[in-house]
Structure 1
Amino acid sequence: MSTVAPLPADAPESVSRDPAFRHYWFARLCTTIGYQIFTVAVGWQMYDLTRDAFMLGMVGLVQFLPSIVLILMSGHVADRFDRRVIVRTCQGLEAVLAISMALASFTGWINRDYIFVFVALMGACRAFETPTLQALLPSVVTPKALPRAIALASSAAQTAIIIGPALGGFAYVAGPGVVYSIAGVLFAIAAVLVASLKLRQPAARLTAPVSIKTVFAGFTYIRSHPILLGAVSLDMFAVLLGGATALLPIYARDILHTGPWGLGLLRSSPAIGALVMALWLSRHPLNRRVGRVMFGAVALFGAATMVFGISQWLPLSMGALVVLGASDMISVVVRQTLVQLDTPDDMRGRVGAVNSVFIGASNQLGEFESGVTAAWLGPVGAVLLGGIGTILVVGAWMRLFPALASRDRLHEHVGVAR
């Protein structure tokens, strides 16, 4: 068990009542809801068109590849230009893409290849938006409030992940075009909120000329800090193996024998656990033994994945996913706080871009891995293998990164601008 420090009664309110943080929080809420319902529609529509688990895996791969191709450019742009402009531009483009998919669905010319094109373009936008939005947060709140702000910002994402899939699942009854239209409106609202965001302190700008050294600085910084390298790579490999979200349409239709509404509930279940945990951590931030707590949480993630894999009862499957989401949120908050606090402000974009690729690998590339293994072993075998692999990764990483395992406090090292 971790030791937590009591939070002063007015501390969370001092963050949540800050107008700038509210704008940031609601912008993140809207953009994440939009992306979640977009993802639900894409997954169900693709499976309706192909009935092929491998194609579901390919959707994840196509979403992930742009972040790999654009990683160096996106991080450099985030450190050199106004991060608010970058984020709102990406969200505006995402709104255009979602509306275009709605029109394609309404007119009936959507097919597998068009879906891949739109998903790739959406992935390119998010390759710039995600690291930039994360790097923007330290300019919205004070360094002291950052751990609680990260937990509250994560609660926005998890609230969206609860609302989004359920909304997408129920709206899909009216057709995928309706779902894509809702996503487009939400992306547009997020862009307006970011455009009106006022910063507490200006972000440090990268002024050095573009060079090989500055372009690869994010990789260099993470590689030279074993705690950061261990934290982000643990998440990548563990969730890559244990992620089963790409197979939820198969579980909903063929194993749990439910429909789009059931898929929405399954996709929302991890976020229910994650939201409860995020709110708890915003009131009771981890104070001691954060490294061991992170490893324990990832091991629990693997065990919950295995329970989900063998379940044939919808309530049990949802319960396993709730536990999975709660344990993952502990890992997310620890990792994101370490990345933000241990990184200088003028490097947060480049380090955040590298971190986003690790996150993308654990999600989109994990979906590809799940789709491929499901095609070979069946969905149950694929999920069980992934859960076992996650637990094995935890044991290996505790030996490979002893500094992370022995990390006591989040605030031991604070990045200084350079």
Structure 2
Amino acid sequence: MPPIQTGDDPTDRSPAHLLRHAPFTRFLIARVGSVAAQQMLMLAISWHMYDLTSSAWDLGLVGLFQFLPGLATTFVAGHFADRLHRGRMVAVCVAAQGATAVLLAASTTMHFASRDELLFLSLVLGAIRPFQMSGQQALLPMLVSPRLLARSLALSTSTQQMAVIAGPALGGLLFSIGIDVVYFTCAALFLVSAALYVLVRYDYVAPSRVPVTAETVLAGLRFVWSRPLLLGAISLDLFAVLFGGATALLPIYAKSILHVGPQGLGLMRAAPAVGALCVGLALSHRSIGKGVGKKLLIAVATYGACTVAFGFSRSFPVSLVLLAISGGADTISVVVRQTLIQLETPDHMRGRVAAVNTLFIGASNQLGEFESGVTAAVFGAVGSVVLGGCATILVSLAWSRLFKPLARRDALQ
């Protein structure tokens, strides 16, 4: 099925026009379901781990164990995303995560869940995710025309944030029934999403058979390294979120600092998505015009400043507002970076470039959780969050000097 096209009518570029295209709509619904399930699953694993061990170090290990497998599988995942049908590839990955949720539900119900099991299954999830993310990132540009890419990314980000809001909030409510119920719900959402990804159709042409070599697998890394704009955009996310992310420490804030329990934890996990949803919907109607490089760097600095303020906050409502603002700033960063990456990459390289981006995102999120756990063990949770936010601000300033093509980029296209 051909991608969505657009004429000269401005209404052809509206979110409503995008949603009239069945493959794109299926993609969005499948993404909502899988993201909601992932958010609930990560919430459940982090709370489960802290409930079992009361250790910030173990919370950090959950992030590290999700990151390490990606080092071995990411570039292979990118190669497969450029060789296989991307919708079916993502469907298999989502179904495998559903099977993992079933295992967690069963072990919890039968009362033999343990720290070692949570860490092992974190490794499994970490190995699966690069395949899903590489295929998913490379799939979206096949469903829309280049002129609609920025708006479609913004709309996709908005719907994703709806799932990020609903997933933790629903997970927090389901905790009152039992953590096994959370795991079973995750499994159901994963399986429904996998079925929808199978139904996503696009004009897939099987590539010519080329032997798998180190050169073909690592082609995406060389492509990014040779283009300062792409390297700056991808590495900016790596270092900004690596230092500035406070997600891994939210269970500590919920239980020991703000005293709001698992329900409060669900709201804090959802708060950044509220801000992201508002900003994403705005960008789906009106994309960023000029000065995109400067606005990207300002958004990253804002994210860092909100993280610093959150670290010091002792008010639950204020903390939620700060997390929401940080989510909005992060969405500006995501939409600008992802649009630049897709527009600057030819289709035959998108899977492998997406793999590089996935590796950097995984490092920023999962390795960032480990960094937060380590620094929290040394400086305490508050010290870890505040230092990380300050480091993010410094990264934004440094990238404005180190990557001039990114800082001076005026328009997305």
TM range (shorter): over 0.9
Tell me how far apart the structure 1 counterparts of residues 111 and 225 of structure 2 sit (CA, whole Å).
48
| Partner in structure 2 of residue 3 of structure 1 | none
Tell me how far apart the structure 2 counterparts of residues 204 and 312 of structure 1 sit (CA, whole Å).
56
Gaps of 5+ in 1: 1-6, 412-418
Deviations for 1:209-251, whole angstroms, at most 9, x for unmatched residues? Answer: 2222211111001001101100110111011100000000000
Per-residue deviation at 1:25? 0.2
Amino acid aligned to 2:163: A
SS of the aligned residue for 1:270 comes to helix
Tell me how far apart the structure 2 counterparts of residues 387 and 349 of structure 1 sit (CA, whole Å).
32
Whether 2:175 is the aligned partner of 1:172: answer yes
Amino acid aligned to 1:360: G
Tell me how far apart the structure 2 counterparts of residues 123 and 216 of structure 1 sit (CA, whole Å).
20
Tell me how far apart the structure 1 counterparts of residues 103 and 193 of structure 2 sit (CA, whole Å).
18
1:63-82 superposed matches below 5 A: 63-82=66-85
Matched-pair identity in %: 48
Whether 2:44 is the aligned partner of 1:41: answer yes
Per-residue deviation at 1:381? 0.6
Query: 127, 142, 147: which is aligned to 2:145?
Result: 142
SS of the aligned residue for 1:218 comes to helix
Per-residue deviation at 1:382? 0.5
Deviations for 1:34-89, whole angstroms, at most 9, x for unmatched residues? Answer: 00000110011000000000100000111111111101210111111111221111
CA contact (8 A) 2:85 2:204 kept: no
1:338-417 superposed matches below 5 A: 338-411=340-413
Tell me how far apart the structure 2 counterparts of residues 203 and 9 of structure 1 sit (CA, whole Å).
31
Tell me how far apart the structure 2 counterparts of residues 95 and 384 of structure 1 sit (CA, whole Å).
36
Amino acid aligned to 2:207: R
SS of the aligned residue for 1:286 comes to coil
1:261-410 superposed matches below 5 A: 261-410=263-412
| Partner in structure 2 of residue 115 of structure 1 | 118
Tell me how far apart the structure 2 counterparts of residues 110 and 205 of structure 1 sit (CA, whole Å).
44
Tell me how far apart the structure 1 counterparts of residues 19 and 309 of structure 2 sit (CA, whole Å).
36
| Partner in structure 2 of residue 129 of structure 1 | 132
| Partner in structure 2 of residue 233 of structure 1 | 235
Tell me how far apart the structure 2 counterparts of residues 343 and 21 of structure 1 sit (CA, whole Å).
21
1:129-278 superposed matches below 5 A: 129-199=132-202, 201-202=203-204, 205=207, 207-278=209-280
Deviations for 1:170-203, whole angstroms, at most 9, x for unmatched residues? Answer: 111112111010000001011110111121x336
Tell me how far apart the structure 1 counterparts of residues 217 and 68 of structure 2 sit (CA, whole Å).
19
Gaps of 5+ in 2: 1-8
Amino acid aligned to 1:226: P
| Partner in structure 2 of residue 416 of structure 1 | none
CA contact (8 A) 1:79 1:206 kept: no
Deviations for 1:122-172, whole angstroms, at most 9, x for unmatched residues? Answer: 121112111111101111112221111111111121111100111111111
Tell me how far apart the structure 1 counterparts of residues 217 and 127 of structure 2 sit (CA, whole Å).
18
Per-residue deviation at 1:10? 4.1
Whether 2:12 is the aligned partner of 1:28: answer no
Closer, same or farther: CA 16–203 of 1 in aligned 2, 3 Å: farther
CA contact (8 A) 1:134 1:352 kept: yes
Deviations for 1:341-389, whole angstroms, at most 9, x for unmatched residues? Answer: 1101111111001101111111111111001000000011111100110
Amino acid aligned to 2:46: G
Tell me how far apart the structure 2 counterparts of residues 367 and 54 of structure 1 sit (CA, whole Å).
10
| Partner in structure 1 of residue 5 of structure 2 | none
SS of the aligned residue for 1:173 comes to coil
Amino acid aligned to 1:319: V
Per-residue deviation at 1:208? 3.0
Q: Which moved more, 1:72-81 or 1:241-250?
A: 72-81
Per-residue deviation at 1:120? 1.1
SS of the aligned residue for 1:303 comes to helix
CA contact (8 A) 2:11 2:17 kept: no
Question: Structure 2-normalised TM-score?
Answer: 0.96
Tell me how far apart the structure 1 counterparts of residues 263 and 41 of structure 2 sit (CA, whole Å).
15
CA contact (8 A) 1:139 1:203 kept: no
Query: 100, 109, 122: which is aligned to 1:106?
Result: 109
Q: Which moved more, 1:64-73 or 1:314-323?
A: 64-73
SS of the aligned residue for 2:253 comes to helix
Amino acid aligned to 1:59: V
CA contact (8 A) 1:203 1:345 kept: no
